[in-house]
Structure 1
Amino acid sequence: MVVMVIDNAPAKLRGELTKWLMEVKPGVFVGQVSAMVRERLWNKVYENERFTGAVMLYSMNTEQGFAMEMCGDPKRRVVEINGLQLIGVRG
């Protein structure tokens, strides 16, 4: 399963994502896609300059059961501590 949350996603990006994922709320996309499709969609998000922040969570064989990636928001980042992914917030 893949979940993407995108702040201020432009209509073009939302349209691209809804070809593969369901938009359950504005800017929140959920679906089941292959790793290749997931990475291509994330690249589209990452290359887009008109949003303020994005996070992607996807199923992974880890202790937490998922992995995450973030981009765009300079105050938040993914931090790995002892094999766990956590969100680090800068002051």
Structure 2
Amino acid sequence: MLVIVVENAPPRLRGRLAVWLLEIRAGVYIGSYGKKVRHMIWQQVCAYIENGNGVIAWSAPNDAGFEFDTCGANRRVPVDFDDLKLVAFGPESALPSEMDIKPNLIKNAHIR
């Protein structure tokens, strides 16, 4: 099993993914491929993601039962702890500038 989720992906990338995988919701793709095809698909996602971001998850014979990887600008980054992959939050500077505006508006809002 293979799952790819993309956000703010350009239409040409979404079209490429739709050739190989089933799009069950906007930006959510599933399929069942081996390691070689999965690697090829993920290389294309990382090459064409532009200002978006993506995550891939697939079945794996480990304690968790799956593996995952990310690409693009996102605060969530995979971190390996003794062969257990967890998610860490990176600094806010890892976010695109449009998203940095919202926290500033909230911080500067006056409470009445």
Same fold (TM over 0.5): yes
Give the number of the structure with larger relative contact order, counting CA–CA contacts within 8 Å between residues 6 or more apart: 1
Amino acid at match of 2:40: R
Displacement of 1:56:
0.3
Quick check: which one's helix share is greater?
2
Stretches of structure 2 that go unaligned for 5 or more consecutive residues are 92-112
Take 1:81 and 1:74, find their aligned partners in 2: how far apart are those partners? 20
Structure 2 residue aligned with 1:88:
88
Alignment length, in residue pairs? 91
Runs of at least 4 residues of structure 1 off by over 4 A? Answer: none
Take 1:56 and 1:73, find their aligned partners in 2: how far apart are those partners? 14
2:51, 2:73 within 8 Å by CA — same for their partners in 1? no
Displacement of 1:73:
2.2
The answer to which of 20-29 and 74-83 deviates more is 74-83
Identity of aligned residues (%): 33
Take 1:77 and 1:30, find their aligned partners in 2: how far apart are those partners? 21
1:5 partnered with 2:5: yes
Stretches of structure 1 that go unaligned for 5 or more consecutive residues are none
Take 1:4 and 1:77, find their aligned partners in 2: how far apart are those partners? 15
Quick check: which one's strand share is greater?
1
Take 1:78 and 1:16, find their aligned partners in 2: how far apart are those partners? 25
SS, match of residue 44 in structure 1: helix
Structure 1 residue aligned with 2:14:
14
Q: CA RMSD in A?
A: 1.3
Structure 1 residue aligned with 2:34:
34
Structure 1 residue aligned with 2:71:
71
TM-score when normalising by structure 2: 0.75
